[in-house]
Structure 1
Amino acid sequence: MKLLEQAISRARATVSILLFVLIAGVVARYLISVDLNPDVTVPVVMVTVTHQGISPEDANRLLVKPLEIELKSLDGVEELTTRAQEGSAFAVVEFEIDIDISAALADVREAVNRAKAEFPNDTDEPIVNELSASPEPTLVIAFSGEQLTERELFHIVRNLRLEIESLPEILQANLSGDREEVVEVLLKPSALEHYNITADELLKTVAANNLLVPSGEYDTASGRFGVKVPGLIEGREDLMGLPVKSNSEGVVTLADVADVRRTFKDPTTFSHINGRQAMAIEVFKRNQANAIKSVASVKALVEGSVDTLPRGVQIDYIFDASDFALQMVNELQGNILTAVALVMVVVVAALGLRSGLLVSLGIPFSLFGATIVVYLLGYSFNFMVIFGLLLALGMLIDGAIVVVEYADQKTLSGMSLRDAYVTAVHRMFMPVVASTATTLAVFLPLMLWPGVVGEFMSYLPVTVFAVLSWSLLYALLFVPVLGVLFGRKKAQLAPTTDAPIRGKAYLGKLGTAYGKFIGWALAQPVLTIVSVLLLLVTIFVLYGTFGRGVDFFVETEDRYGIVSVQAQGNLTIADMARLSREVELRVMAVPHVKTVYAASRGSSIGGNLERAKDQISNILVELGRASDRDRTSREVYAGVRRAVAGMAGIDVTVNPVQGGPPVGKDIQLQLSSSNRGIMREEARRIRYYLENQMTGLRDVEDTLPLPGIEWELVVDRAEAAMLGVDTLQVGNMVQLVTNGIKIGEFRPDDAEEEVEIRVRYPAADRGLFALDELRVTTPSGAVPVSTFVERKPRPRLDSIQRIDRSDVLFVKANAEDGVLPDDKVKEIAAWLETADINPAVKIAFRGANEEQEDSIAFLGVAFLMALFLMLILMVMQFNSFYQAFLILSAVVMSTAGVLLGLLVMQQPLSVLMSGIGIVALAGIVVNNNIVLIDTYNHLRREDSHLSALDAAVSAAITRLRPVLLTTITTAVGLLPLACSVSLDFIHRQIEVNGELASWWQQLAAAIVNGLLFSTILTLVFTPAMLVLPEFLRVRVMPRLSGVPTQQSD
């Protein structure tokens, strides 16, 4: 109390500190960066190793396994996923969440360098990159223009991409729809035959004349001079003039037997924007970079180059994360200010203007104080932080209400303002500290939530901690100072000790009615207690019988969606583009679809390893804002599914890009085994069951090898050796009729990157059967390749995927709208137990189910930990196990209230949102019990002759107003969101079932329903339980022993 006395005596200094906090909070809010999502850095590193022409089996044996040995030995590796495919191998290393990404990158690079020693000699240099936490880009920039040539558009996009990648906040910028430049040397078969030159001879000659020749230096009396022998091809003229063969008639140059042209490689990707052919830059920000600032930097760079671009270039921005982030953040801030206004109105109406403003000033003080903490911690001002402020908004004035309300009672009794507020702080110090401590005790375990989900959600408890800590300081230090300075002493009243009468005076008819009811209820406490318990049991039974089940996250209003187009067969890139465009046109015709961006399977849209093997394109769909639509996003995407249903030859899946922690498809079964054949059979069985014997599922897919064949060229090594031919020569001949042989590179003056030089036959002379016409040089002369090579078709193995050094396959599916994935997981698990799965195959549920089980396990532990911490705090304060457990009974009531709300609204229980709401409620609802029981104990200590019944009635009526006021102020700020309404009076927007409300409705509803329900029962149940021991001792026990009972007055 000495600190309080000093603060009141030096009121000006105390007020100056308060003003400093408010000003510093405003400055911190101005300086803090704004972002949509929390700054969660997922330490994931990707290794890419390419080897031209290597088969998936060889890539698995020669590239993947050496990588696995080195990478799996690193400290902190959570999971290692690898994939071997034609021409390359990938390794994705996921580290534990607390590993520094820079250290992880360094460790992976060292491990890859060790593994390189085991790679084949001609393997390309491995690429090690940080992997973006999100499979979707931060921004897509599409460039199109009918008046521009492909080369002009390519140069524009490529140069901008290099500039964008140079920005510090950008992780990578990938091109889609482009083609690499190449200098193509097209051989003339007739000319080669005329000059009696084989392709093999030509290749050797060109390679021998395109070398970097080190020539050294020599010293003379005049000094040291370098010697240079130009040997590299520097341009088209050098290439055309290369001598191929000479004889007495002259020299045959490359220009005599080939056409040389600068062109593009065969297309491997495509991209379309609203049906138009385009080139696109898919921009990914770094994990810790701010989305809004990143997009602003990229747009500023692009807009700054517009004046230098040719006329006719059209630029479209798609998937703009900053626009959505700003909308969500501004809307949530507007809801906070609206909630502040509502809370202040309630407080002023209940306490009067001066007392109401005194309490309400704690709102900006605590919110700005918490903003300072958030800024100092380096957090962004994201929607988790903002909702933490909104959640704590109603709770932060509880302590101030209790102190001001008690001080008002004392001033009514004739006490001076100074004495009244000092007495109020002295009297209510322990209840206020205990109630705040119990609330913080509940949020403390949430800070320890492990994994990505925990890192994502941790911003919420940190923010609540900061707000409530500042609010405690305000209630116990600044409220008395401001109350003494600006309070007005009310008219003196005659001192009275009739607490129930005062309570009635405060609440009028409500207080009178409650006084009569509580007097009747406490006169028969057993009946009251049994009735409440029966009600709680009934709710739990009804929910267990009629509840809608469990879901991991909540269904959000999603502005973006991905349409995946899949087709099997040996399709050319032109076939893929044509099929994709047919789907795009149908999607564009659906109402409320704003933009359609299609990218081929080589694009980064939708992730890398998550992509289906038979996928030919991903179509990114952007809808208009929810406020501009008369349909929900779910209804729009259902319309898209109907529009693309039944298209011949292709399968189309439509999925919204949902918010929250990324978990992939609803249902994911991982099969692992050392026997690939058995594993594939079981994967086919499971897929057949999901597709044909289960209802409520869609978009079923697996990662089995796609049906198809590949041609294997078997070299008769003995025959080839007799002719003096090796396998390398045969391979070179094959490349001449496929993609061509790379013979070198050169850098044109108008290009930033080197351009490959490739030799091959013209299109008319290319193909598998053109091998019959090829001849290879031998000591005995030119011999047809078909002499010692046999073509054999065999089943194609497109890729091999492994996790933690075990071969794996996945079977995945989505649940239909209205079907809970958790119900389907249980159904599948029940079938697996009776399906006689081969014991050599291990099956595990991954994705949302895995995250759901982990989250349920943690929340269960966190809930028990919170209860234990609260129990310790309550026993320390009240020195009674009975009263401590009685305080915790409010947790059961609040949980019943949450389940009752879900039952009435027919919503599933969200593990994340409803679960956090239940845990958070545990720290909120006990405050009412603390105040009631503390007042009851105080009355019994002041008057030892006061019966438990009279003390309980007096405590209940006396604390009715603060209990109702704290409950209403906590609920009123969240009530709009709980009703799926976003009230933003600052921006003059009222939106029902919008994007913001869809995120927070379940969490807000859980807190509002649980709080209101438990408060009503607490005002009856807790007083009854306080009366029960004396009632049993005085009334029941004597009857059981045959002793006459005393009648109470």
Structure 2
Amino acid sequence: MWSIIGSGRAIKVRAFLNLCFARSRTVLSIMALLLIAGLYTRSDIAIEASPDIQVPMLQVLVINPGISPDDAERLLVKPIELELRTIEGVDELNAAAKESLASFMVKFDATVDIDKALSDVRAAIDRAREKLPRTIEEPVINEISADRMPTVVIGLASEALDERELFLIAQDLRLELEMISDVLSARLVGAREEMVEVAIDREKLENFNITPRELINAININNQLIPAGELDRGDGRFGMKVPGLIETYQDVINLPIKSTPQGVVVLSDIAEITRRFKDRDGFSSINGVPAISIEVKKRGGSNQLEVAAEVNEIVQSYRARYPASLTMLPILDATPRTEQMVNELQGNIVTAIALVMIIVVAALGFRSGLLVGAGIPVSLLMGVIWIYLLGYSFNFMVMFGMLLALGMLIDGSIVITEYADRRMAEGVSSKTAYIDAAQRMFMPVLASTATTLAAFLPMMLWPGTVGDFMAYLPTTVFAVLTSSLLYALVFAPVIGAKFGRSSFSPEDVKHFHQLENDDPTKLSGVTGFYARILRGVTKVPLLVATLSVVVIFAVFAAYGKYNKGVEFFTDAETVYGMASVRARGNLSAYEVRDIVAEVESAILNTEGVSIVYTSTFQPGKGAGRNESPDKVATLIIELTDHNERELNSADTFEQIRFNTRNIPGVFIEADIVEQGPPVGKPIKIELSADSRELLIEQTARLRELLETNVEGLRDIDDSRPLPTIEWQVDVDRQIAAQLGANVTDVGTVVQLLTTGVEIGEYRPSDAEREVEIRARFTEAERQLNQLEHLRIYTPNGTVPLSSAATIVPRPGTGTIERFNGRQVMFVNADVQAGTVADNKTQEIMALVERTDWPSDLTITFRGANEEQNEAKEFLQVAMGLAMFLMAILLITQFNSFYQAGLIMTAVVMSTAGVLAGLLITGGVFSTILTGVGVVALAGIVVNNNIVLIDTFNVLRRTNPELTIQECIVRTGAQRLRPVFLTTATTILGLLPIATNWSIDVVNRTLEHGGMVASYWVPLASAIVWGLAFATILTLIVTPSMLLLPHSIKVTSRRMFARIKSLRAGES
């Protein structure tokens, strides 16, 4: 594209422009078509709150009933790990061995196709099957993807209805919701599964001399699908059927178990058979009332707002059918917040457009200002078309990308329109003026846009989940700025030639003439004042350069000493938060419910809390990976709208922590939901070793170090197993064999005392899925003290369990976690309000370095610190790549290393401006948002220098009679207005958000610290401070630096001449 620099190519550019002007109606029709397409696309594009991120992660579950965690690690985890680690593209492999279960979380590189990953994992599991116990169930492989998070959750609660009635209503509503075309699934949560309980009477079992093995075999034999084939006799073909499956409840009751001389013993003769819910392992409630929830998930690419509206319409119709005692409450419904965020951001965009239009019209006049301002909606709507074609949704990242680009997208139009105005003031026609302007400014506009895009291009290559999350921003800027380039170089000149400014006042003509042909220092007003300042500073360019270096160095030094620290992602205002409850001991589900009810009540009594959605579970069964195993409940908290409460979300959760601090027997953690990509607690330390005993010991030691040596931490926990007791039945195989029994017989009897033995399943006509048939002793006999009274069923009768087995208490193993092939445990911590997590992480790192640890123990800092370091490394690479791309573009355009380097100094100045802004405001450097702002600034701030130096070069060529200083002063005076306008429009567009204000002229709202503004403060303020600082220095330093080589050359000549004359005098 750079070949157009030549004069021959310039003629072709002019010929193309002449063609556009000759076919102006065609050009305007194309623009109108793009506007209509943009409006249609905007109405049709999917709307979401957050970007639709695809996470290449798979979960594998391998169930082996009754297997211990130690055996699960040895027999299940290790063989499967070996196969999974051979798969290409695996980034992380997490495994956990639990009671009866082995689970794996396989995370792939972001570039891996999820379908191929799924196929590879299935193949790896199949290869491992031959090494696994035959007792395992069919492995389950699930795709974990962020885009499958619920769109809306409907909670059903009632104190008047019993559990079965509530369950049937929820089931019916779920089926109705799944009929919505854009709903992917609707899943019941908090509803217990059904079962058919066969409560065996031990006395009757012994009286009929039936062993548990005979009972199970009899049920299995009478519950089979029997393919009887077909009969073909030539006169017809007939299918044969032998019904063998249990189909009704009556079939279960009348199942034959044993034949005796007195008759056939059926199942109901020896057991009480009831259809009931499974035993509780947890409770679900909404605001303290027992509840069942329906998680509704939309299909990919569908409109979140439309799906939620259809769901709510169905819920409203159902609510009318049932009594008022039934509550159907939309919870975790982000739709109102999404709609509010979309409207607020759109309102802020309109506000920014209004501010930009005001300043442009004030500076360029009504017609020229409208011509420039028209580029905003045209470019934004064209950008929406690109976003739609890329398959993106219209989310807050896309909208802020538009807001960020809004101030930059009219830069090219300003430069061309301002130049055309000067040409028309000289007396040329509007058509000629705009052709001249488009041709003359073609390369500067193209180069400035290209350098801006060069800064955003590396960010589009950001790897990982964070990169996928942030990629929407640079992609949007890329789409909008590319569209603005088309408007500035084609549409604006054509429109300007037809409708542009046609007359100028004598003052304007005189002003433009003096700028072009006379001494600009004689001008009045701001331009003349600036020209006079420029004439003074260009006399001492070396002093100006030295002072600018000192100022920049002082800013960097001051920031290095007085900075407030670094954070991964800034906490913003929100209405959602999470609380977790931890409690120790072998608590039953009912004991946990009673404990958590007190916590729930305390949270509901906190001002600003609207909804509390609680899920409880037994210790060790609900904790996620690397979480404390004593977690017994999760509470999702929704606050009232931030305009309806006095405290912001962070302070509200501080109040929740205060209100729950004195509840006995529990540990409560509560905080707002994470902003940006999820990373968990800000401080997460991983310990890995081959010895489990060593790992437990050193995890406890590290936790104690944090508790006793590091201030400012809260909610410290670790993932060591709970100190539990389990009863172990050791079978003497030889004695058991002599008695006619084996380990299986003993295990079956013990199972009948506990959760029971699954002896089959059937599908009732009123159920969606098969219901399992589970046999166990009656509730009165299922007591721990009955364990020693159990009897083994043998062919010779029953014998006491104690005659073949010993019952001993043993400490429980708990969950065994592994990461990339080694056992791991974690220590996690949060920080107190006002404390920067990164500062505490650095303090803990130093503490760990000073402490002696065993040689085979590895300590790694994970979580936010790991993500922050990865983001920092990428942004440094992105900054370097952006600088390289911009340098290549600038060297190609100007064919000068010095001028390209001089333009690039603006990047250093802008970075100094960002740091100065953080020092003045006391802000914290956000690795993601401030870092992106610094990289984005690199492409923004060079634009003014490009146009400034290009104008200087043209003036030097066309006005050889002028001195270099005169050319520089005239260049500065000519470019002051466009430089001021391009800078002011960018700053004004972002200034409200940079100061944490949301100004929405559409909805007539003005608020401080809202959800939109507080989220984007670090990025917006970085650009505002960096651009303002760099522009001020650019207007003084760049002109001085242009003169510096000439000044050094003249000074050197004078020095050599003086030395030469001195030597001549001495001789």
CA distance in 2, matches of 1:1014, 1:486: 35
1:974 is aligned to: 990
| Displacement of 1:163 | 5.5
2:397 is aligned to: 384
2:188 is aligned to: 175
- Are 1:345 and 2:358 matched, yes or no? yes
CA shift in 2, pair 1:205/1:25, >3 Å: closer
Instruction: Spell out, residue by residue over 1:186-222, the C-alpha distance to the aligned partner (whole angstroms, 9 max, x if none).
Output: 2334445665666566555555555555666677798
Instruction: Spell out, residue by residue over 1:653-688, the C-alpha distance to the aligned partner (whole angstroms, 9 max, x if none).
Output: 112112211111101112222222222222111111
2:813 is aligned to: 797
CA shift in 2, pair 1:512/1:231, >3 Å: closer
> After the TM superposition, which of the residue ranges 192-201 and 845-854 deviates more from structure 2?
192-201
- Are 1:727 and 2:743 matched, yes or no? yes
| Displacement of 1:830 | 1.3
- Are 1:892 and 2:908 matched, yes or no? yes
CA shift in 2, pair 1:500/1:207, >3 Å: closer
- Are 1:86 and 2:110 matched, yes or no? no
- Are 1:629 and 2:648 matched, yes or no? no
CA shift in 2, pair 1:607/1:628, >3 Å: farther
Instruction: Spell out, residue by residue over 1:898-936, the C-alpha distance to the aligned partner (whole angstroms, 9 max, x if none).
Output: 111111111111111111111111111111111221222
CA distance in 2, matches of 1:281, 1:540: 54
| Displacement of 1:1039 | 4.2
User: Is the 8 Å Cα contact of residues 159 and 289 (structure 2) preserved in structure 1?
Assistant: no
- Are 1:104 and 2:126 matched, yes or no? no
| Displacement of 1:527 | 2.5
| Displacement of 1:590 | 0.5
- Are 1:913 and 2:929 matched, yes or no? yes
- Are 1:490 and 2:508 matched, yes or no? no
What one-letter code is carried by the residue in structure 1 that aligns with 2:503?
K
| Displacement of 1:174 | 4.3
Aligned pairs for 1:698-713 (under 5 A) are: 698-713=714-729
Unaligned segments of structure 1, at least 5 residues: none
> After the TM superposition, which of the residue ranges 771-780 and 421-430 deviates more from structure 2?
771-780
User: Is the 8 Å Cα contact of residues 200 and 776 (structure 1) preserved in structure 2?
Assistant: no
| Displacement of 1:624 | 1.5
How much is the aligned-residue C-alpha RMSD, in angstroms? 2.7
CA shift in 2, pair 1:933/1:785, >3 Å: same
> After the TM superposition, which of the residue ranges 767-776 and 596-605 deviates more from structure 2?
596-605
Within the candidate set 5, 14, 24, 2:27 is matched to 14
Within the candidate set 489, 495, 499, 1:476 is matched to 489
- Are 1:274 and 2:287 matched, yes or no? yes
CA distance in 2, matches of 1:161, 1:827: 51
Instruction: Spell out, residue by residue over 1:525-582, the C-alpha distance to the aligned partner (whole angstroms, 9 max, x if none).
Output: 2222222222111111111111111111111112110100111111100011111111
CA distance in 2, matches of 1:509, 1:564: 64
| Displacement of 1:763 | 1.9
CA distance in 2, matches of 1:353, 1:226: 87
| Displacement of 1:884 | 1.1
Paired residue secondary structure (1:791): strand
2:426 is aligned to: 413
CA distance in 2, matches of 1:606, 1:1042: 87
What one-letter code is carried by the residue in structure 1 that aligns with 2:24?
A
CA distance in 2, matches of 1:127, 1:205: 29
What one-letter code is carried by the residue in structure 2 that aligns with 1:127?
V
Aligned pairs for 1:228-307 (under 5 A) are: 231-243=244-256, 252-285=265-298, 291-303=304-316, 305-306=318-319
Instruction: Spell out, residue by residue over 1:868-923, the C-alpha distance to the aligned partner (whole angstroms, 9 max, x if none).
Output: 11112222222221111111111111111111111111111111111111111111
CA shift in 2, pair 1:125/1:202, >3 Å: closer
Within the candidate set 759, 765, 768, 1:749 is matched to 765
1:323 is aligned to: 336
| Displacement of 1:612 | 3.4
What one-letter code is carried by the residue in structure 2 that aligns with 1:584?
E
2:8 is aligned to: none
CA shift in 2, pair 1:234/1:963, >3 Å: closer
CA distance in 1, matches of 2:850, 2:897: 49
Within the candidate set 445, 450, 453, 1:432 is matched to 445
User: Is the 8 Å Cα contact of residues 701 and 813 (structure 1) preserved in structure 2?
Assistant: yes
Paired residue secondary structure (1:90): strand
CA distance in 2, matches of 1:472, 1:494: 31
CA shift in 2, pair 1:673/1:507, >3 Å: farther
What one-letter code is carried by the residue in structure 2 that aligns with 1:499?
L
Within the candidate set 1026, 1032, 1041, 1:1010 is matched to 1026
Paired residue secondary structure (1:734): helix
- Are 1:866 and 2:882 matched, yes or no? yes
User: Is the 8 Å Cα contact of residues 627 and 718 (structure 2) preserved in structure 1?
Assistant: no
User: Is the 8 Å Cα contact of residues 619 and 632 (structure 2) preserved in structure 1?
Assistant: no
1:1021 is aligned to: 1037
CA distance in 1, matches of 2:1017, 2:307: 30
- Are 1:1031 and 2:1047 matched, yes or no? yes
What one-letter code is carried by the residue in structure 2 that aligns with 1:1014?
A
User: Is the 8 Å Cα contact of residues 588 and 596 (structure 1) preserved in structure 2?
Assistant: yes
CA distance in 2, matches of 1:550, 1:76: 32
Within the candidate set 461, 468, 487, 1:455 is matched to 468
CA distance in 1, matches of 2:790, 2:511: 115
Aligned pairs for 1:887-966 (under 5 A) are: 887-966=903-982
CA distance in 1, matches of 2:165, 2:322: 10
CA distance in 1, matches of 2:605, 2:510: 78
CA shift in 2, pair 1:671/1:73, >3 Å: same
Instruction: Spell out, residue by residue over 1:229-288, the C-alpha distance to the aligned partner (whole angstroms, 9 max, x if none).
Output: 555444443443445566555555443433222222111221010111111223455676
User: Is the 8 Å Cα contact of residues 619 and 629 (structure 2) preserved in structure 1?
Assistant: no
User: Is the 8 Å Cα contact of residues 37 and 382 (structure 1) preserved in structure 2?
Assistant: yes
CA distance in 2, matches of 1:507, 1:921: 33
User: Is the 8 Å Cα contact of residues 136 and 604 (structure 1) preserved in structure 2?
Assistant: no
> After the TM superposition, which of the residue ranges 909-918 and 26-35 deviates more from structure 2?
26-35
| Displacement of 1:70 | 2.7
> After the TM superposition, which of the residue ranges 369-378 and 997-1006 deviates more from structure 2?
369-378
1:400 is aligned to: 413
| Displacement of 1:693 | 1.6
Paired residue secondary structure (1:845): strand
CA distance in 2, matches of 1:861, 1:632: 37
CA distance in 1, matches of 2:258, 2:31: 92
Within the candidate set 825, 836, 842, 1:826 is matched to 842
Aligned pairs for 1:754-765 (under 5 A) are: 754-765=770-781
CA shift in 2, pair 1:843/1:240, >3 Å: same
User: Is the 8 Å Cα contact of residues 132 and 286 (structure 1) preserved in structure 2?
Assistant: no
What one-letter code is carried by the residue in structure 2 that aligns with 1:355?
S
CA distance in 2, matches of 1:180, 1:861: 53
1:51 is aligned to: 64
User: Is the 8 Å Cα contact of residues 592 and 618 (structure 2) preserved in structure 1?
Assistant: no
CA shift in 2, pair 1:605/1:880, >3 Å: farther
User: Is the 8 Å Cα contact of residues 396 and 471 (structure 1) preserved in structure 2?
Assistant: yes
User: Is the 8 Å Cα contact of residues 199 and 775 (structure 1) preserved in structure 2?
Assistant: no
> After the TM superposition, which of the residue ranges 502-511 and 464-473 deviates more from structure 2?
502-511
CA shift in 2, pair 1:221/1:12, >3 Å: closer
Unaligned segments of structure 2, at least 5 residues: 1-13, 1062-1067
Within the candidate set 71, 74, 77, 1:61 is matched to 74
> After the TM superposition, which of the residue ranges 709-718 and 694-703 deviates more from structure 2?
694-703
CA distance in 1, matches of 2:539, 2:913: 26
Paired residue secondary structure (2:293): strand
1:597 is aligned to: 613
2:44 is aligned to: 31
CA distance in 2, matches of 1:110, 1:162: 35
2:1003 is aligned to: 987
CA distance in 1, matches of 2:270, 2:40: 74
When normalised by structure 1's length, the TM-score is 0.95
Instruction: Spell out, residue by residue over 1:827-862, the C-alpha distance to the aligned partner (whole angstroms, 9 max, x if none).
Output: 121122221121212222211111111111111111
CA distance in 2, matches of 1:249, 1:271: 50
1:667 is aligned to: 683
CA shift in 2, pair 1:194/1:989, >3 Å: same
Paired residue secondary structure (1:498): helix
